[in-house]
Amino acid sequence: MYPAIQSGEYVWYSISYTGGSSRTKLLFNEFADALSHADKVVLAKIYAARETDTLGISSADLCEKIKSLGKECVYIDNFEDIENIY
């Protein structure tokens, strides 16, 4: 997580690039819970590594789960665009 100053207070950002659909699917709820402790969450597309099957899971799904926990979350499909989000 990365701190940033906004209006004189720290805001904790979590910028995540999860590795592998199988890991994300297996640890989906744990990822959502851990990332939801940040003030703002930014998720990039899942890094596929050697996997070719998405197993029906995506970072967009994870972002929706984090939002359902009451936290701000933004999904960015293109990793390079993350630096321009805030």
pLDDT band with cut points at 50, 70 and 90 for residue 1: very low
Contact 38, 14 (CB under 8 A): yes
Question: 81 versus 32: which is more confidently predicted?
Answer: 32
| Per-residue buried b or exposed e for 35-74, using 16+ beta carbons within 10 Å of the residue's own CB | bbebbbbbbbebeeeeeeeeeebbbebbbebbbeeebebe
R_g of the chain, CA atoms, integer Å:
13
Given this model, what pLDDT does residue 7 score?
52
Mode of pairing for the β-strands spanning 40-44 and 72-76 = parallel
User: What is the arithmetic mean of pLDDT over 27-39?
Assistant: 91
Q: What is the pLDDT of residues 36-84, one digit of tens each?
A: 988 888 888 887 777 777 788 899 999 999 999 999 999 988 777 877 7
60 near 25, Cβ under 8 Å?
no
H-run or E-run covering 4: strand 2-6
